[in-house]
Amino acid sequence: MIAMTSTTDAAPALRLSGIDMHYGFVRALDQIDFHVMNGEVVALLGDNGAGKSTLLKVMSGAHQPTAGTIEVHGREVEFPSPSAATHAGIQMVYQDLALVEAQDIATNLTLGREILRKPPLGWLGFVDKKAQRMRSQADLDRLGVRTAAMTRPVEMLSGGQRQVVALARSATRVSGERSGVMLLDEPTAALGYEQTKQVESLIMRMADDGIACVLVTHNLPLAMEVSSRFVVLNRGRKYADIPKSEASPEALVGWITGARPSMFA
């Protein structure tokens, strides 16, 4: 259920306040405040077990927080399920796990937004494969993504190519939505140089289109390249919130390893 309060355009695309999350006796998140504006890429950094994935799962409706509130464009919301978050314009990239192996790239890119053939075949649910291929290719061209031929089944793609297709699919779903928020969990894990560069430019293009992006990654060069702000978690607490102008790789490593004192304790 989505509870509505007032909305303002200056409000963050997504804001979390006072978020606690427990796994049994483990306190994975402790009073986390977080926000991301439209057109901003926020890197969520931290050592193993810091709470990054848990926070992303709270944002995507996969986990319900023990305490705290979530707002989308100034409206207080509740995400009892991932579909409630998707309905509010929040897309989580599930990488290759959510692709349909036996189907081709175009079919995967248009899942849930199929183009039907003209009636009467369209009334019976027959899809227009040619139109789907053309739209998928146009979407990928617009996003600057190059993969295999649109007719290639996903099961014949490399792990890296699958990741790029999954990311592109989320990008096409979220683009054009005023409140679009993209959640990316390690989007370049297992990617080669060329595909990592494609993912970098895809993230920057989404931000240019006004999409709010939250990037969880251990890949500091990627984070430095695309992010406008860096939020560091440490043992479930927000440890630092650093604008790009103050961030250097050395400083970020210092915050991640806990060597520097907290600005926000």
* CB nearer to ligand ATP: pick between 169 and 237: 237
Residue 138 and residue 209: Cα distance in Å, rounded? Answer: 16
Residues binding ligand ATP (CB under 6 A): 23, 26, 28, 46, 48-54
* CB nearer to ligand ATP: pick between 11 and 50: 50
Tokens (6 digits) for 52: 């990054």
Chain-centroid distance of CA 157 in Å reads 22
CB of 221 to ligand ATP, least distance (A): 17
CB of 191 to ligand ATP, least distance (A): 17
CB of 187 to ligand ATP, least distance (A): 14
* CB nearer to ligand ATP: pick between 109 and 215: 215
Sheet holding 26-36, edge to edge: 26-36, 14-23, 67-72, 75-77
CB of 43 to ligand ATP, least distance (A): 13
End-to-end CA gap in the chain: 34
Residue 170 and residue 182: Cα distance in Å, rounded? Answer: 8
CB of 184 to ligand ATP, least distance (A): 13
CB of 24 to ligand ATP, least distance (A): 6
Residue 85 and residue 66: Cα distance in Å, rounded? Answer: 17
For tokens 């009467």, what's the residue? 120
User: How many residues are recorded in the chain?
Assistant: 265
Amino acid identity of residue 231, one-letter, is: V
Residue 11 and residue 72: Cα distance in Å, rounded? Answer: 8
Closest-CA residue to 188 (of 178, 199, 172, 175): 199
For tokens 């297709």, what's the residue? 165
